[in-house]
Structure formats: structure tokens, C-alpha cells
Chains A and B, each alone.
Chain A
Amino acid sequence: MNLISLRTPAKTLFTILAVVVFSIVSSFDLQAQEDGEKLFKSYCASCHSAGNNALVGPGLAGVYDKYEREWLYSWIKNSQALIASGDEQAVAVYEQYNKVLMPNQPVNNEQIDAILTYIKEYNEAAPAAEVASTDAAEVVEEGEAETSPYFIAAIVIALLMVVVILRKVQHLMKVVEARIKEEDIPEELTLGQAIGRTIQSNKTIFALMGIVVLCLFAKSGWDAAFGIGVYEGYEPEQPIKFSHELHAGTNGIDCNYCHNSASYSKSAGIPSANLCMNCHTYIQEGPQYGKEEISKIYAALDFDPVTKTYGPNQKPIKWVKVHNLPDHAYFNHSQHVTVGKIACQTCHGPVETYTVGKQYAPLTMGWCINCHRETKVQMDGNGYYDEIHERLPESLKKQYLEDGTITVSELGGIECAKCHY
């Protein structure tokens, strides 16, 4: 207000006018962006990202500035014709991206404009976020080096040597002392005798030490017993070197895209090979293993990547199961994902950084129960819980709502027959 008041009325009027015009224009723009987003997702997103990272095709950030609009129109509508016509730019792009053809898109010029506007808006809005995420990925690479067991062994040997040398030195000192005092030269004690004497003279301390050692042994045995059947960190080699880091991390594919049944089924599901083909029909080469690993999907589907046809000899991919829950424990993904709104990472860890799938959580009953004790039930806006809440008499409301939260266990979530039946 202050700013405006300082100016001349004419300027103020102009400013107001400008603001109005700009907002109208930008609202049109917004409209275009929304449409563009929709169009982008339906036509482009399976092969291109709107940012910088390459999927099948290159990331589209900057494409609106790099090429002429007219050229883009004809490329998007029929790239193959453009390449065939010998257009220099077109051939260059074709060569650059491993001669993967871009399919013709059934879009008109206005729609292409909308898509490009969306890409532009997207890149102007999100560069900061993108940078942050790439940083984060790099940070995780660093790790603490573990102490090597050889190093420890070397130290132990060195210490033993020191003990032996010191004993020799002590003995020599005593011999020297005896010589000086002209006494009898004392016999050199064996190591065993020396230890025996030390123990005899310090019985209480050694008894206590013995008890402590025993307890430590018992404790480690006990802990080891608890570890039986717990495969935390289990990271078996898989038939295909599938990397979650590349798919979920770098490419940012949502977990639910491949494991979609997690939201409505008991099992999260390993994606069927035909789901892979949504992208891998076009992405025939990966950044790490080239064509080798992707060709295993093609082999499963009997797919010919050149003619893009499926043969009859299909055979399933036999993945190695990582999370082995015992048969007598019932677990339902949809209960946790859809109703409980738990993030996948809570139980599966930072999957987007895994190059090989692994078991993050111990999957023990104690681990389950602990979470059920601590987790607050997501009741807001769920008619089921509204009804349950309504039934609760005042006396019990006090009991359960004392701490202001309702945990899973307060609703019976740690009862036996919630998971065992």
C-alpha cells in the first residue's frame, strides 16, 4: 500500500491494470498447465520425465528453448517421417538416443503447446527440490568403514608379544638384581604358573570376573537364540539384477506403480512381467547392465524387441523371496497402507537406495507388537472409526483417551487372533 501511495495516480492505475491483465494471462496459463500436465502424463510420461533425468527418452527440461516450435510439432507428430526426410536435427537426436524410435503421438499443436507450457512451469517450479534430492542420494553413498578383524588380531598378537617381552625383561631385571645382591638366581616361572599365582593371590576378583564372563556368554547365547529365524538384512541374489535405486530412486517411480496391490490386497505383489513392459517396451537398455538384464524380461515374455511381438513360450521369472513371514502369521498390506496410511519405508527401509532388495526390519513378533503399541490409529475421516468411537461409553472414553491418542493396541491390535488364525 505504501508503495502504491507514493506513486502518481497514473502509475498506480497502470500498475493495477497490469496486475489484472497479468493475473488473467497467468490464469489462462494455469489452465494450460493443468491440461498440459494431464496430456503429458497420458502421452509422454511413460518414456520422458519433465525434468532432466532420462527414462527411455531424454528428460524434457529445456526442450522448449532448444528447438523451434514448428520443428517440435512435426517431430512429436511423426518423428520417423522427419528422420526419413533427412532433417539434420532429427537424425542427430535419433543417433544420440540409441536409435530408439519415438512413437507418433496423436496430439495437435495446441496440445503440444500446453504440454510444453507444463514442462516449462514444472522446471521453473521445482529445480530446487530436484537438486536437493540428488544431493541426498549422494550423501548416502558415504559410509563408516568397519574395523577389520585382521587389524584386531594384529593388535592382540602385538599385545601378547609385549607381555612376553615384558616378562622376559622383568625376569632379567630380577636376575640382575639377584646377581647384584648375590642371591640365588630365581627360576623363570612358566606362563601357566605365573597366572596360577596371580589368581591365587586375587581369588575374589577372579571369581567375580569368571561370573561376569559366564553371564556374558549366557547373554550372547540367549541373544543368538532370538536371532534364529530372523533374517534382518537378508539380501539374496536375484535372477534379474533389478535395482530399486534406479527405478524408485533416480527415476522416482512410485512404489504403488509396480506394487499396486499393496493398497487393496493382502500381498503387495511382485509385478507381473507385463507390467515391466509398460516402460521396457521402449527402454531396451539400462544404464548399468545394458541389455543383459532387461533381455531377461523379454525372455520371460518371449518378446522380440526388434519386431515388438510376443511369442508363445512364456515362462515366469522366479524371484527369490526376501520377506518370509511364517504361514501362521496373517499380514495384510492394505490394512497398513490404505487404512493405516503407513509409508512403505517404515517397514521396508529406504528402498529407493537399495540396489539389491533386502529385508530391512527383523519381522519378529516383538517388532510388530512394538509398532502396534506405539502407532496412533488414523481415525480422521474414516466412518468406520467414527462408528466405533460413537459406541464407546463415557467411562471408557476417559480410559482410552487419557493421553489424547488411540493406539492400535488400545483397539485390540495386539490380540492373538488379529494375526493368528
Chain B
Amino acid sequence: MSNNKKYWKGVEELNDTPDFQLKKNNEFNEYLPAEDFLGDEGLLSNSNTSRRDFLKYLGFGVTAASLAACETPVNKVIPYVVKTDKTNPGVANYFATHYYDGFDYCDIVVKTREGRPIKIEGNKKSPYTQGAINARVNSSVLSLYDEKRFKAPQIDGEEVSWSKFNGELKGKLTEAITNGGKVRFLTNSITSPSTLRMVADLVAAHPEADIKHVNYDAVSFSSILEANESSFGKRAIPSFQMHKAKVIVGIGADFLNNYPSSLELTKQYALGRNPENKWMSKHYQVESSLSLTGSNADSRIPVKPSEQSKVVLALYNNVASMTGGETLSKVSTPFDERVKKIAADLVKNAGESLVLSGSTDVNTQILINAINNQLGNYGKTLDINVTDNTKKAVDSEVISLIKEMKTGSVDFLVISDVNPSYSLPSELSFDEALAKVKTAVVFASRPNATTASTKYIAAAPHYLESWNDANPKTGHYSIMQPTITPLFDTMQFQDCILNWMGSDLSYYKYIKQTWEKTAFGMQTKSSMFEDFWNNCLHEGYFRPSISNESVVTTFNGDLNAAASAAAKTNSGEWELEFYTKVGIGDGSQSHNPWLQELPDPISKMTWDNYVAMNPSDAREQGFATEYGEQKNADTINITINGVEYKEVPVIAQPGQAKGALSVALGYGQTIGKQNEIIGFNFYSAMNGMNASTSSVSFEATGNDYQVATTQTHQTVMGRDSVVRESDWNTFKNGSKDDFNPAHMLATHEGPMNVNDVDLWASHPVAAAGHHWGMSIDLNSCIGCGSCVTSCNSENNVPVVGKDEVRRSREMHWIRIDRYFSSAEEKLDESDRSYGAMELPEDNPMVVHQPMMCQHCNHAPCETVCPVAATTHSNEGLNQMTYNRCIGTRYCANNCPYKVRRFNWFSYQNYDKFADLNPAQDDLGRMVLNPDVTVRARGVMEKCSMCVQRIQTGKLDAKKEGRSVIDGEIETACSSACPTNAITFGDLNDKSSKVLERSKNDRAYRVIEEVGTQANVYYQIKVRNTENNLA
């Protein structure tokens, strides 16, 4: 079945352009100016370096080097003066805490070495996020060691002491309160019970004053909150049980990346998509730009943004008519037939389905509520009584605060954890309003647009240095605890407020007080508060054993009004959608180089945002559709809602709806020591904070722009045994030969299974000791990139910057290959009229495939190394010894998987990378994993299967005198995978999960036919479609 599909990574590969053909045969396709240089006679003869000089320098260099080598290095070893009990050099400690920045919430475990946090992993014990983690959260450890952070509070740009700072502001606050003035707090959605209590305390203590707290989320879900208020009388976001849904419909909802409790949804989504279960959920996605969620859908309809609400209305009408509900005003879309099919599927699985929308339009969300209500999904796949509390911001409240500020009546404004000057639309002119506030204080950890124009800047600590608590979901409480002493002279928002309120409590004591008063009484296990507190601190979370009675709510929305509003959505020739990228999210961590260098899961772009456009649209407009080192993107001047952006690159994105453009938020901020600005800030153009607009126009500038895409880097030379997939019917009803046939080799004895034919003697790993192996389930992998950043953090993978990525020199040990697939029969390329809808690049299927060193037992790289720098261990690992490597790169050339990386530069001390590479300054170096060598220039490196973790795991077992427990040793990627797609273990352990999965019917090995005997297994992807081509 899989043979009649064509897989391609980029438009250039699809069309097999001559340039691509040239490039795919050359792994190191760097441009070397040697001929320009050597061919220039004039330059050579004018050069003032003679042969004699060269020999002199050579001689001097050799002598100097050998003399330098003879000197005894004098190193100091500095022990603790007073060592704390559990801090032991060389031993890692783990602390449970949580991450919350208003965009992501995650229960995490922080690994510290010698008292400094070096790695973030999901808290696998947490019943809420269940160990799931994403790239933004596991990269956040790097933001702690940011040289640009505020090191002390500032007044008028001068660093002052906290006593002065707090003294002055306490006076101002008291003055504002006694005068009965307006005191306002503008923060991200606060889920912390203690902070909420603190604000309530302040309000209660001063009834004479006008004190108000306003939640503000840069990427808000205000529409869902308001829709639920209208439908159920409850301003809340429901919680989901997606693993119980047999049919999932996402309409503009990127629920695997940007949605309330998206990590929980990711876990649930993966659970429901396991083809080994009795049923597998069917996922329909209707969206404008190809999102991470859409790339995983079984069936996807690209629509323009204005058509989304119409599809929702049509879907409602279809569902209502099939279930006997009241139908609303009719609307027609070009997708009526497909919508009808979706509706039928939904009705068939009523009560076991889920419809989600990411629309910022309240009426659309009311219709979504109505659909779920009509299907009887409430209480089954989603629950309005158990709410998600991480998104509380209602846009209208923020807008009215700004209006209030503009009148000059706000006396005291505290801004914390948000950057409104940057992330509010320019039409709201926040800066102008801010200037009219009498006293404004901004809590921020590094300079941003809002701190640029404020008098009082409070240096806020990083979350790994802070105390806090959270209630992200009804019935789930967690504590944030510091994992390091604050690096700088910083103070938390809450500590300051307590100080200003005249309280002598620290926020830590205040949290304990809150917990003693509330949470302690909600359980019966511990009778002593300290026991209870320490236990919660250790586990990182608390679930009350005494729960509140659930309130049953009934649906009561005004559907007709909603329907007529939804039908009236403005459309245009071009429509634009704002979205958030997997790496950068809402932009609060856009200064993090790990995230900037993480390739976008869909476009594979790094270090930029851009305007995404359908490839045929781009071709019509005369824009370039292929990008590479020598191929730049064209730029446009684009006006969105009256805001003009100049020289924005245009990228042709397969899967993008025709006529729809999309731009990523979160860019346009500074990074690095030079304060370089990356990309464009499209928040400014979000009129009314709506996620889409039809007020857009653009013109080509005729200029081009260098983009860094990893799209067709490390290509697999056209071998088609890389990705395997099947459909649900074939998988359920067929045999292994139907969906995952073995590779047969023609021999003189007839066809033989490739695994039975071997040129070499078998490697003795199969029986003795350990045999480490990995299994990757392509069905579970959603392509989120969490493994990539986790690997960066674990293995000290250097950041190389945009220019080097452009030259295919990214250093990531694990990459996620994103393959588009389409039917082999392409339409005639000249025919782009109405048949163009069927062009493969308009709506391709997507497969995400994590690819790293396959640790072949018969490794092609090992046989070609002239210095035996890469060898095989008796535990099945392909070992790379950096100090032996002389950099011939033969191994990389001979690797069929293209997973070896060459250190072209000394990234940790070469000037070119000083701006970006965290390992270049003393502060940034603290993030390095001390157990992993920092590689030098001129050596090869690649995935080691986290050998340092294997060794630690084995040693722990030996010290305790027991065998290694399956699952105890995890690689950085397997541990970070939110869908458990990656399993690591010992293939010699008869009871191991990895052995079971490697023997599964879906298991195969990539490029197995060349006989590499890889130790990494993959499981074929199964799509829930009638046939593989749908």
C-alpha cells in the first residue's frame, strides 16, 4: 500500500529540480571559495606571505605548541566552606516544581548538579501533565543563565537597592490608597491561590481604595471564556477527556501546541490514537495554515480563515438535523459534502466525540458549545465543571483598563510577567496609556518593550529561583520551589507586594500559610501540616481527597444571534491568520537560542518568522518556492489592519489554504549580546486581538532575503524504505505482509528475508550483557520537537546560528524529518486552473519521523574510520570518541541515515558565535551538562544514546546490587516525549518494553535492506482512513 505514495520533504524534492538533484548527492554542500581565491593570480602574487614566512610560522607554531604542552597546569579545587547536607559534588539532585508563564503550564522535575539546574524533565508522577513536556518548557533552563537579565531593581535606569526601591513604591502605593485612587495589577492569568489571596487581602484591607487585578494573556482564549459564560453562565474553560473521543474535530484549533492544557491534550490524543487498541480515534482538522495538530489529522480541509466560522455553522446545522435539534440559518461553503460526512461521523459517535475550535470569535465558540451539547459530549469528553484555570484573560477587560489608563485616572499600576507594550495591538496605543499612569512598576527578568519606557523596573527572578503555587485545573494544586539561590539581586512580584502591604511575611511563608488554611484541610492523610507540606513539595503536586460537589450546568445559549454573526464574517481575496510557532510560542522566550534554532515542525524554518503562502499562490505571484543556501526567499511589503511591515519574506508552505496567509507571533524581539532583532512583531497588527483578518494587502519588493531552513538537509538519497504507513482497515484486517512486508532479497536460493542474509559475522551483543535499543512509534510521534531541545540540553549541543543553519551545519543530534506525502500521479503541472485544488502540495499528508544515530550493529561508519574513532560497544552502542577523531568525515559520508554532525568551528569560543552560543560566557556555561564532553573543532559527533545516562543507570544498579529495572534508564529524547513515542531499553531483557515493541507487527528498521542491523526500530504509522490515499 505504501509503495504507491510519494514522500517529499520540500517543494524542490517534489519537483525534483536539477539543483536539488545536485544537492542531495552532496552531504556537505558548503560553498568553498577556494577557486576564487587560488584562481586569482593578482591576489596571490600580491600576497605578502612568502613560502619562507610560512615555514617560519609553522616552525614557531610547532615549537610554541610543544613548549606550552610541557607546562604543568595549576588548577584550583575549591570545596564548599559549609556543605549542605544533600549537595554532593558529582551527584545530581532532582526537585519537583512547575513551569507557568501564562502560555504553558507544566509540572516538571529539575535536575541540579552542584546546586545549579541543568535539565528540565516532565514530572511523570503528576496526574495532570503526566510527564508530558514541550520544547518551550525544557528549554527554559537556558533562560535562567541569561547574561541580559536585570541584575538589580532600577529607578530611571539607575540600579538601586531593594530597600530604596521598595521604600519609594510603598510610599506611592500608600499615597494612592489613602487618596482613594485607582490601583491596578496587570499580570498574566494567575492560577496561584496564594497570589489571588494576596490581592484579595489587599482589596479587603483597603475598602476605601479602588484596587483591581486584570488578567492579560498575549495569546488569549477570551472567546471560549465568554462563550461559556453565555452558554453555561460560567466564565471558564472546560477540561477535556480526549482519549475517550472516537471522533475529534479541530476547527482552527492547534490543540497539540497552543490550547488550554495542551500538554494534557497531547497525552490524551496519543492514548486514543494507538492502533493496537480496539478503536483508534479519527481526527478531522479544518484550518487555514498547516498546524502541528493539522499535520497529524487523518483528514484535513484547508479553508480560508473567514470560512472557518461558516464550516462551524454548517457542521452545527448538519449535526442538528441528524439529531433532531433546531437548525439555524443556512450557509454554504465549498466543503458541504465533506462537512456532512464529518457530521455523520460525529453523530454516529455522539457522546464519544469532541469538537474544538481555536477561533477568537465568541459566536463561533458558542456554536462549538452547541455542537458538543447536541452530541451529548458534555460530562463525557469535556467537562465544564472541572475547569482549566491557566487562561483567564478576557480581552475586553484589558481594553477597558487601557481606556481607563488613557484618562489619566490610574494612580498605581503593577505590570508583572507580561509585556503589553510589545504584545498589544498598536491600535490600542498602550505606551501612550502607560505614560499617563502616575506610578507604573514593571516586573521583568530582562529588558523588553514595556521596561523601555517605565521609571520603576523591578528585577524579577527566573521561575527556577522563585516560590509560588498553582491551581491549573480544578482539583490539581502544585508548588513551585526554587532550585538555585537567586543569581542576581532579584525579588518576586509577590514578595514586593507583601512588603508594600506592610507585611513582614515572605512569600514563601505566605504560601505555607495559604496551604495550611486551605489545602491541608482538603486531605486526611497527614495530620501534621509540616508532613503534608514536605510531602507536597517532594511530589510537586497535591490532589485533594475531599472534592467539591460538581455542579451540573445546562446549555443555554442564544444560537440564532451567534449563527447570524458567524455567517456574516468578512472575507477577502487574501486573508491572514496569526498563529504561534512550536518553538517561540507567545514570544516570552524568543531570546532563547535553543528555541530559535529548533526547526518549525512544518516549515522547518529556523531563526525567522515570515508570511506563509500556498505554493501555487506563491508561484502565481512570482515568488520563489524553493529555499536553500544559495536560494533566497522573496520579500513583500505587507499591510495588515493598517500596520505596514517592510521586507517580510514569503515562504511557500504546502498545506496552506489558497488565499490564506499566515504569520507567526512572538517574533520581533531582541536576542543575544548585540540585541539583534529577529523577525517581525505581528502582535501590533492584531486588530481587536482577533486571530485573523481580511484587511490585508501586499506588494512584492523585488528584493530577496536569506532564510535558514533545514527542509531538505540530510536527505536520505531517495530511498523509499524510510517511512512506512498504512490505514486502519488494512492494519486491522490484514496481515503483517499487507501493511509491513519484510524486505526480501533476491538470492540464488530464491527470495530471502534481508535479516537472514548477512555479509558479516553477527555481532555478539545479541546475547551477552546489555543490548541497548530504541523503538519509535510513528503513530504516536506528533512532531513537536520536545526531544530535540531536550537532547540539546542533555548533550551540550551547540547553537550555531542562522548563517550556519543556512549552510546545513546545524548540530542537532536528533532531528524530526517531516515528510509530505501525496499520490504518485501528479496532475499536469501546467494545469493550474481549477484542478489545482488537487495538487499534492495543496493538502499533503504529513509524517513526522524522529531520526538520530541508529546505532547499527553493522555500522557503515565504523568500517571507514581510518583512526578507529568510531567503534562498536558490546552493549550495541555505536561509540564516538572525540579525542581520536581527526575529522576526515568519511563516516558521515558513509552513513545512510545522515545523522553525523561535524564541528566546523569551535562554537564555544569562536567570535562568530559569541552572540548566540550560551557556552561562551561564564553564566551561560553553567547550563552545560558536566558529564558530557564539550566537543572541539574538527571532530565528528552524533547521538550517543545518552551513554552518560546508561552508565549512571548501570552504576546505580551495581551500587545497589540489583539488575537494571526496565524503564529506569531513559534517554533525553524518550523522557521528553509527551506522547511516549520513543521507548528506550535493553533488548536483552526479556521483559523489556522495547523488546516487545521491536517484535511488534508494525516494527521495521529504516533502510533495513542495506543490512545495517540498526538498534533503533520504528513502528509504521497507521492512519484512520478508509484507504491510504484519502
Contact = CB atoms under 8 A, between A and B. Distances in A.
Given A324-B75, A328-B882, A339-B958, A265 B81 contact: no
Contacts of A335: 955, 958
Interface of B: 66, 69-70, 72-83, 88-91, 764, 767-770, 871, 873-875, 877, 879-884, 931-934, 944, 947-948, 951, 954-955, 957-964, 988
Contacts of B944: 417, 421
Given A274-B83, A388-B769, A320 B75 contact: yes
A321 B76 contact: yes
Given A383-B962, A416-B884, A421-B947, A269 B871 contact: no
Contacts of A334: 955, 959
A316 B879 CA distance: 39
A417 B962 contact: no
A391 B88 contact: no
A272 B80 contact: yes
A421 B874 contact: no
A196 interface: no
B869 to A, nearest CB: 8
A330 B948 contact: yes
A314 B964 CA distance: 43
Contacts of B91: 261, 264-266
B77 A319 contact: yes
A417 B955 CA distance: 14
A204 interface: no
A265 B79 contact: no
Contacts of B76: 318-321
Given A300-B81, A330-B948, A415-B871, A320 B74 contact: yes
Interface in A377-393: 381-388, 391-393
A385 B954 CA distance: 11
Given A261-B88, A316-B79, A332-B90, 5 more contacts: A301-B82, A339-B959, A382-B961, A388-B768, A417-B877
Nearest to A327: B933
Interface string A307-330: 000000011111111001001101
A93 interface: no
Interface string A203-238: 000000000000000000000000011010010100
Contact of B931 (A270, A330, A384): A330
A-B pairs, 8 with minimum CB distance: A266-B90, A387-B963, A417-B879, A272-B83, A265-B90, A321-B75, A272-B80, A270-B79
A136 interface: no
Contact of A317 (B78, B931, B959, B988): B78
A333 to B, nearest CB: 8
A299 to B, nearest CB: 11
A269 B767 contact: no
Contacts, number: 167
Q: Which of A265, A266, A382 has the most CB of B within 10 A?
A: A266
Contact of B879 (A267, A271, A330, A416): A416
A144 B934 CA distance: 46
18 contacts: A269-B79, A272-B82, A273-B79, A317-B78, A317-B79, A319-B79, A320-B74, A321-B75, A335-B955, A384-B954, A386-B963, A388-B769, A391-B769, A417-B879, A420-B879, A420-B883, A421-B932, A421-B947
A335 to B, nearest CB: 6
A124 to B, nearest CB: 37
Contacts of B88: 261, 264-265, 269
B89 A265 contact: yes
Interface string A125-158: 0000000000000000000000000000000000
Nearest to B72: A231
Contact of A332 (B78, B875, B955): B955
A321 B955 contact: no
A270 B77 contact: yes
A208 to B, nearest CB: 31
A19 interface: no
Contacts of A306: none
A10 interface: no
Interface residues of A, number: 57
Given A384-B963, A415-B874, A416-B879, A392 B768 contact: yes
B77 A320 contact: yes
B875 A267 contact: no
B78 A396 contact: no
Contacts of A381: 961
Chain A interface, DSSP helix/strand/loop, else mixed: loop
B813 to A, nearest CB: 12
Contacts of A234: 72
A14 B76 CA distance: 72
A418 B951 contact: yes
B77 A321 contact: yes
Contacts of A92: none
B81 A316 contact: yes
Contact of A339 (B77, B873, B955): B955
Contact of A273 (B81, B767, B875, B877): B81
A274 B81 contact: yes
A338 interface: yes
B78 A319 contact: yes
Contacts of B78: 316-319
Contact of A269 (B89, B877, B932, B947): B89
A275 interface: yes
A282 B432 CA distance: 68
A164 interface: no
B768 A396 contact: yes
Contacts of B75: 320-321, 324
A301 B80 CA distance: 10
A191 B68 CA distance: 42
Interface string A392-415: 110010000000000000011001
Interface in A322-369: 324, 327-328, 330, 332-335, 338-339
A269 B77 CA distance: 9
Contacts of A272: 79-83
Q: Which of B82, B931, B960, B988 has the most CB of A within 10 A?
A: B82
B907 to A, nearest CB: 16
Interface string A284-302: 0000000000000000110
B93 to A, nearest CB: 12
A266 to B, nearest CB: 3
Contacts of B89: 261, 265-267, 269
A412 B873 contact: yes
A236 B74 contact: yes
A269 B78 CA distance: 10
Nearest to A229: B69
B69 A391 contact: no
Contact of A384 (B70, B73, B958): B958
Contacts of A320: 74-77
Contacts of A418: 873, 951
Contacts of A317: 78-79, 81
Contacts of B770: 388
Given A264-B88, A330-B948, A391 B767 contact: yes
B794 to A, nearest CB: 11
Contacts of A228: 66, 69-70
A274 B81 CA distance: 6
Nearest to B875: A412
Nearest to B769: A388
A267 B77 CA distance: 12
A421 B948 contact: yes
A279 to B, nearest CB: 16
Contact of B959 (A266, A338, A386): A338
A29 to B, nearest CB: 36
A418 B77 CA distance: 25
A231 B72 CA distance: 8
Q: Which of A231, A261, A417, A420 has the most CB of B within 10 A?
A: A417
A267 B964 CA distance: 23
A382 B958 contact: yes
A239 to B, nearest CB: 9
Contacts of B883: 328, 420
